[in-house]
Structure 1
Amino acid sequence: MSDTVQPRALPLAGVRVLDLSRVLAGPWCAMVLADLGAEVVKVEHPERGDDTRDWGIRVGSTQTTYFNSVNRNKESMTLDLQSPQGQQIARELARQSDVVIQNFKFGGAEKMGLGYAELSSDHPGLIYCSISGYDRTGPEAARPGYDLVVQGEAGLMALNGEADRPPLKFGVAAVDLFTGMYAAQAVLAALYERERTGKGRHIEMALFDCGLMITAYYGLEALVGGEDPPRYGNAHPSIIPYGVFDAADGPLVITVGNNSQFERFCREVIERPDLADDARFKTNLERSANRAVLVAEIDRELRSRPRRELLARLSAACIPCGEVAGLNEALTSPRALAGGLVTMQPHPEAGSTPVLAPPYRFDGMRMPIRHAPPPLGNATQQILEARLGLSADKIAELKAQGVI
C-alpha cells in the first residue's frame, strides 16, 4: 500500500510483546503496540481462545467482530497455562520478549510462575504490565474488574444521558478502551526509559483509576461544587448553543464556541438578529443563565429549515457543524474510505472481512495492517519452531497432550 509506512520504518520494529491478556483493556494495549510495529504474540487457551472469540458476529469458525476489533497486527498461539509445560513455554517466551501484558485475576500470574518477580529475576530489562479492576495494593485488589461496573462506580454513568432519564452507560466500553490506551502510553514511556537505564518496569493499571481520570472537567466540577453536575444529554454543560439539534429533516451537530460565532449564527444562519442583540444572550455566561429561553427559540428556527441548507449556512459563517450519521453510514462514508480507515483483509474461511486501520500517521503515512486479526492458534507451530527451536516431534507431543 503506497500510503502506509513500510515495515522497516515502523517505530516499534524489533520490539517483542507477549500478550497474555484477554477481552479488551489488555488486548487493546497490545494492539496499540502492534499497530506501531511491535511483534505481538497473543497467547490463548487451546480450545476456547480469548473470551471475545464468542462475542459479536461470527467471522469464520474461530473469530468474531468483537475479537477482530482488538486483535489486528497480532499472531495467535495456543497454550494451556494451567499445565506445567505450558507455563514453562510461556516463561521461555517472556525471556525473549521486551514487554509482557497480563490481566489475570489477582494472584493468578504468580500461581503460574508468570508474575513480575519471577519473570524479571533473570530478565531485568523486562517491561511487565499488569491490568486489574482496582488498585492492586488496596483492599479491593482481588475484585474482578468489569467495564460496566466501573462506569457505574466511577460516576461516568451519572454524567451521561438526559437530565430526566436514568444514568446511562457509554455506547462502547470506554473504561476498558481508555485503560488500554493509558497502559500503552506507560509501556512506551518504560521502553524509552530502558534505553537510558537498561532496566525494566512493573506497570500497574486499574480500571477504576482510569475511569475516574476520564471524568475530566466534570470530575473537577463535582469536587469544586460539592455535588454532581447536571446532565445535559447531547448539549454542552457550559457552551450554548453547542450540541445536537433537529432540522426539518434530521439531526445535525452545531458548535457555537464563542460570542462572535454566536452573533454570526443569529444573523447569518437562523436570521434572528434580535437574539444577537438581546442582552440576555450577549455572553456565554448569560446564555447559560438563560439557556431554556434561548434554546427554545433556536430549536424553533432550526426545525423550520432543511438540514442541507443549515449546514451550508453554518459552513459559510465558519461555524463548526456536521450531520449525525449512523454508524454504518460513517464507516462507509467517502471521508472514511478516502482516509483508508476501513480495509478488507483476506480471511481463510470468510474470504475477506472488514478491519479498521490504525489511526496513526507518521510522516504522512498511515501505519499498516501487517497481520489481519488471527484465527485461533494460527502461528503456534511457527513460534515454537522459530523462537524456541522445538522439533516437529516435540510440537506433535505437546499437541497430543493438549498443551497447545
Structure 2
Amino acid sequence: MSARPQLPDRVPRAKGAPVALDGLKVVDFTRVVAGPACTQTLADFGAEVIKIENPDGGDDTRSYENADLAGESAAFVSLNRNKRSVALDLTVPEARDIARDLIGRADVVVENFSAGVMARFGLDYASVASTNPRLVYCSISAYGREGPFAARSGFDPITQAESGFMSMNGFPEGPPVRAGPPVIDIATGMSACNAILLALLARDRLGRGQHVEVALFDIAMAMTGFYGMAYLMNGVNQSRFGNSPNGSASIGIYDAVDGPFYIACANDRLHRRLVTEVLARPDLAAGPEYASRRARTANKDRLRASLAAIFAQDLRENWITKMKAANVPAGYLRTIEEAFNSREARARHRLVQIAHPTAGSVPNIETPLQLGLTPVVDPVAAPLLGEHTKTVLRKTLGYDDARIATLAEAGAFGVKRDGG
C-alpha cells in the first residue's frame, strides 16, 4: 500500500474578493452522493449549507469503507466540504419543528429521501411553500416524484443498467460494464445544482420560488448522448465498442515498450498527421483502404495491427513527446496514483490539504469550477456529525440555551447527543 501523499496547504482566496452565493441559505436533507454533490457546489461558492443528519450514524457515506481518516470516510469528506451539520431525529415532533423553522428562513431546500418521506414529516414542498413562497425546493430521486415508478428506490448502477447507458460500456465480446465512479450520481448532482440556480434566477424575475426535480434515470438517459439520438434516427441499437468508438483504429489504447497510452485521431486530418508526422508511414493514410474514417473502420484489424507493431518499438514518453509536437491528441493511460502525482495535477493546483478538527488535516480535491471575479470560498473540511447543531439553533434560529436543553431532553437531537 502506498503512503498517504504529502499535499501542499491551500493558498487562501484573495482578501475582499466577492462571494458568488453570499447570503444564500440552503437546508440540505440529502445523503450519499447525488444530493451532497449538488449542495457542496453551492457551499463552495459561499452558500450557507445546513446539512440535516440522522443522529444515529448520519449520512450513510460517513461509514463507507473505501478509506477513512479519524473516522471520516473518503466518500463523506469528498462530498460535504463547507457544510454545517445539524443532527435531528425527524421522527421526533420537536425535531420536525426545528426543520420547519430552518426551512422558513431558507432560500433553497434540497432533499433526496425516498418518495413520501418528506410528506410524512410535513416537510414536502406542498407543506412548506405557503409559509415561504420564495423557496426553491429541489427533489432528487431515482425515477421522479410522480408517476408509476415514483416509489421505486434506485441507485447509480441500477439507472446505468436500466437507461441503456451501461449497455454501451465494455468490449463487444464481453458483458456490459458499469462505469466505475458514480458518474450518474455526480451528473445528477451537477444537474440539480444547475436547476436550482436557474430557479433562483427565475425567482429574481418572477418574485416566487418553485419546486424543481431531477431524476437519476432521466440523467442516465440523457447521458447516452448522440448514441441515443442515433437510435431514434435510424433504429439501430448501439453496441459496445470498448476503447475505439465505431471500431476506429486511430482511437484507442496502444502499448509502448514500457506502458500504455491513448490516442484519439477522430478525423482524417488527425489520422494523416499521426501516420505521416509521427510514424513516418504515409502509406497508412494512402489508398482506398485507409483514406477515410469509414474505410479505416472497415479495415481496422489490419490497420490496428500495423499501428500496434510500430508503437511497441519505442518508449511511451518518446511517443507522447512526438505526438504532442505534431499536435496529435494523445495521453498517458495513468493509474489514480500516477494522475494525482502528475505535472498536470500540480500545475492546475488540483490537490491540497485543509484543516480538520480531529484528523489535523485532510486531503482536498479542488472544485473544477473557476470564477475569476467570485472565486470559491476557502474550503472547510466536512463536518463531524452534529458538530453545528447548537450553533445553528442559537445563531440562525435565535434559540436560547434553555430551549435547546428542552429540545435535547425531548430527543430532538437523538439520544444523549450534544451538538457543538
Q: Distance in 1 between matches of 2:16 and 2:90?
A: 31
Question: Among 48, 60, 69, which residue is 2:70 paired with?
Answer: 60
| Aligned match of 1:263 | 272
CA deviation vs aligned residue, 1:286-315 (integer Å, no higher than 9, x gap): 212222221121111112221111111111
| Aligned match of 2:256 | 247
The reply on whether 1:35 has 2:44 as its aligned counterpart is: yes
| Aligned match of 1:345 | 354
The reply on whether 1:288 has 2:274 as its aligned counterpart is: no
Shift of residue 76, structure 1, vs aligned partner: 0.9
Shift of residue 268, structure 1, vs aligned partner: 2.2
| Aligned match of 1:20 | 29
- When structure 1 is superposed on structure 2, of 85-94 and 325-334 the one drifting more is 325-334
3-state SS of the aligned residue for 1:254? strand
| Aligned match of 2:19 | 10
Shift of residue 368, structure 1, vs aligned partner: 3.3
TM-score, normalised relative to structure 2: 0.92
CA contact (8 A) 1:6 1:368 kept: no
Q: Distance in 2 between matches of 1:383 and 1:337?
A: 37
| Aligned match of 2:231 | 222
Q: Distance in 2 between matches of 1:290 and 1:124?
A: 63
User: Residue 107 and residue 189 in structure 1: after superposition, are their counterparts in 2 closer, same or farther (change >3 A)?
Assistant: same
Shift of residue 338, structure 1, vs aligned partner: 2.8
- When structure 1 is superposed on structure 2, of 18-27 and 52-61 the one drifting more is 52-61
Counterpart AA for 2:67: I
Alignment of 1:90-105 (within 5 A): 90-105=99-114
CA deviation vs aligned residue, 1:201-257 (integer Å, no higher than 9, x gap): 100111111110001011122333323212121222365412221111111111213
Q: Distance in 2 between matches of 1:302 and 1:400?
A: 71
| Aligned match of 1:403 | 412
Q: Distance in 1 between matches of 2:61 and 2:83?
A: 15
Q: Distance in 1 between matches of 2:341 and 2:50?
A: 31
| Aligned match of 2:308 | 299
Q: Distance in 1 between matches of 2:135 and 2:17?
A: 23
Q: Distance in 1 between matches of 2:407 and 2:69?
A: 28
The reply on whether 1:119 has 2:160 as its aligned counterpart is: no
| Aligned match of 2:169 | 160
CA contact (8 A) 1:75 1:371 kept: no
User: Residue 366 and residue 270 in structure 1: after superposition, are their counterparts in 2 closer, same or farther (change >3 A)?
Assistant: farther
| Aligned match of 2:190 | 181
The reply on whether 1:84 has 2:93 as its aligned counterpart is: yes
User: Residue 376 and residue 344 in structure 1: after superposition, are their counterparts in 2 closer, same or farther (change >3 A)?
Assistant: same
TM-score, normalised relative to structure 1: 0.95
| Aligned match of 2:142 | 133
Shift of residue 2, structure 1, vs aligned partner: 5.4
Question: Among 319, 324, 327, which residue is 2:336 paired with?
Answer: 327
Shift of residue 11, structure 1, vs aligned partner: 1.1
The reply on whether 1:313 has 2:318 as its aligned counterpart is: no
Q: Distance in 1 between matches of 2:249 and 2:14?
A: 42
3-state SS of the aligned residue for 1:362? coil
Question: Among 368, 383, 396, which residue is 1:387 paired with?
Answer: 396
Shift of residue 284, structure 1, vs aligned partner: 1.4
CA contact (8 A) 1:358 1:366 kept: no
| Aligned match of 2:5 | none
3-state SS of the aligned residue for 1:371? coil
Q: Distance in 1 between matches of 2:15 and 2:100?
A: 31
Aligned-pair identity (%): 38
Number of aligned residues: 403
CA contact (8 A) 1:60 1:349 kept: yes
Q: Distance in 1 between matches of 2:280 and 2:257?
A: 16
User: Residue 365 and residue 284 in structure 1: after superposition, are their counterparts in 2 closer, same or farther (change >3 A)?
Assistant: farther
| Aligned match of 1:369 | 378
3-state SS of the aligned residue for 1:277? coil
CA RMSD, aligned part only?
1.7
Question: Among 215, 226, 233, which residue is 1:206 paired with?
Answer: 215
User: Residue 209 and residue 385 in structure 1: after superposition, are their counterparts in 2 closer, same or farther (change >3 A)?
Assistant: same
3-state SS of the aligned residue for 1:361? coil
CA contact (8 A) 2:260 2:316 kept: yes
| Aligned match of 2:242 | 233
Residue ranges of structure 2 left out of the alignment (5+ in a row): 1-9, 414-420
Q: Distance in 2 between matches of 1:41 and 1:8?
A: 23
- When structure 1 is superposed on structure 2, of 23-32 and 394-403 the one drifting more is 394-403
Shift of residue 398, structure 1, vs aligned partner: 2.4
CA deviation vs aligned residue, 1:75-119 (integer Å, no higher than 9, x gap): 111111111111110000001110000111111101101010111
Shift of residue 271, structure 1, vs aligned partner: 2.2
The reply on whether 1:169 has 2:163 as its aligned counterpart is: no
The reply on whether 1:358 has 2:350 as its aligned counterpart is: no
Counterpart AA for 1:206: A
- When structure 1 is superposed on structure 2, of 271-280 and 175-184 the one drifting more is 271-280
3-state SS of the aligned residue for 2:202? helix
3-state SS of the aligned residue for 2:243? coil
